[in-house]
């Protein structure tokens, strides 16, 4: 989208005298970047050896090795694998299937670390915050893992906790990415046409927002006003005031991943509900859930579709909505010049 509204972060560091990055913080990121560079190089070397060793004897093991390597390298590379798992035009099916497991099947971190993070975030022992807290995670993903809990008023909730050290790791990865892209542009000048540094900046903003649970809570509150009126679709709501930089408490939605409905009699209704929900978000509200991969779509026990993970939402201004609608119409009419015009209007290409 060309027009993305600026969110209000007046309550966050950097707006009221608290610096986002101090000299000490920059030094920490630099050290982490050097360490991560060695870690990434070693992982790439091991994967290259595995590829040479297995490609003739047991090539069927290679997709799992690629997935495990990306999972071991942490959030940034898990996100890369998740994106590649949706690219039917780039990867064969075994690799897509292996990388698709990164949507919801990432190794968890210990429960005692999760409890410590929650207690530090809210300044109280876990037993005062919750009537029950399950130290075994319900699920683990690239940014955070989820634990089930029960509030003292009896409500069942889930507690979303970011991975330890994730902020320093992401900043180091982004620093390495920009360094690599600069070298790539110097070695191959035509790369500049693809504006790789701008793409890296966009990725940086996306990742920094996604690892801040306060940002996700704000997105969830905003999306609730958009999705709540839709009867067949819902989302979990934030449990205030249990929101911090590293922790988010939300309603528990009991259901199964969307792929469990593939091929069932209820699948057409779910597909229709999902399409209608996105038409409403894109063209009606101008605010939409921007990360609808299969791991974030659930079917509830009552048959409703539930959207999860609001670390990233998109916002379209009226002009962009009109251009997007024109693109859909042009594609349906097989009007290639109009598709190009609307793509330029949306900012996909430079005029």
Q: Looking at the annotation, which residues are catalytic?
A: 291
For the chain, the maximum distance between any two Cα atoms, rounded to a whole number of angstroms, is: 63
Q: Please state, in angstroms and rounded to a whole number, the distance separating the CA atoms of residues 168 and 128.
A: 30
Task: List the structure tokens of 217.
Answer: 């809570």
Q: Please state, in angstroms and rounded to a whole number, the distance separating the CA atoms of residues 289 and 2.
A: 16
Residues contacting residue 30 through CB under 8 Å, at least 6 positions apart? 175
Q: Please state, in angstroms and rounded to a whole number, the distance separating the CA atoms of residues 196 and 81.
A: 19
- 232-244 burial, b at 16+ Cβ within 10 Å, e below that, comes to ebbbbebbeebbb
CB atoms within 10 A of CB 26: 12
Q: Please state, in angstroms and rounded to a whole number, the distance separating the CA atoms of residues 300 and 281.
A: 21
Burial class of residue 294, CB neighbours in 10 A (0-12, 13-18, 19+): middle
Angle, helix 62-73 to helix 23-54, in steps of 10 degrees: 170
DSSP per position, 259-288: GGGTTSTTHHHHHHHHHHHHHIIIIIISEE
Residues contacting residue 327 through CB under 8 Å, at least 6 positions apart? 338, 339, 342, 343, 346
Q: Are 57 and 154 in contact (CB under 8 A)?
A: no
Q: Please state, in angstroms and rounded to a whole number, the distance separating the CA atoms of residues 238 and 229.
A: 17
Handedness of CA 333, 334, 337, 341 (dihedral sign): positive
Beta bridge partners of 139: 146
């Amino acid at each position: 989208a060309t027009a993305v509204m600026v969110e209000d972060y007046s309550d966050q560091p950097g707006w009221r005298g608290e610096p986002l990055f101090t000299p000490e913080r920059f030094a920490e990121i630099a050290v982490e970047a050097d360490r991560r560079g060695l870690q990434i190089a070693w992982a790439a070397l091991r994967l290259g050896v595995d590829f040479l060793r297995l490609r003739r004897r047991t090539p069927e093991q290679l997709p799992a090795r690629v997935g495990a390597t990306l999972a071991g390298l942490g959030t940034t590379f898990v996100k890369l694998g998740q994106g590649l798992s949706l690219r039917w035009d780039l990867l064969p099916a075994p690799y897509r299937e292996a990388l698709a497991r990164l949507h919801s099947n990432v190794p968890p971190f210990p429960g005692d670390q999760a409890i410590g993070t929650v207690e530090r975030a809210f300044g109280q022992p876990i037993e005062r915050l919750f009537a029950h807290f399950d130290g075994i995670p319900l699920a683990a993903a690239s940014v955070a893992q989820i634990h089930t809990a029960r509030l003292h008023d009896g409500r069942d909730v889930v507690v979303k906790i970011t991975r330890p050290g994730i902020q320093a790791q992401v900043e180091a990865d982004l620093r390495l990415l920009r360094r690599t892209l600069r070298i790539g542009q110097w070695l191959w000048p035509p790369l500049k046409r693809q504006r790789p540094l701008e793409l890296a900046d966009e990725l940086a903003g996306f990742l920094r927002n996604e690892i801040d649970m306060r940002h996700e809570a704000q997105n969830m509150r905003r999306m609730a006003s958009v999705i709540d009126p839709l009867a067949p679709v819902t989302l979990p709501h934030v449990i205030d005031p249990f929101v911090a930089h590293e922790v988010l408490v939300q309603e528990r939605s009991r259901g199964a991943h969307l792929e469990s409905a593939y091929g069932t009699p209820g699948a057409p209704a779910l597909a229709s509900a999902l399409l209608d929900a996105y038409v409403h978000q894109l063209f009606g509200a101008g605010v939409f859930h921007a990360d609808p991969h299969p791991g974030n779509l659930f079917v509830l026990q009552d048959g409703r579709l539930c959207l999860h993970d609001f670390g990233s939402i998109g916002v379209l201004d009226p002009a962009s909505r009109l251009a997007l609608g024109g693109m859909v119409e042009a594609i349906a009419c097989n009007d290639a010049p109009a598709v190009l015009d609307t793509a330029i209007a949306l900012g996909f290409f430079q005029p």
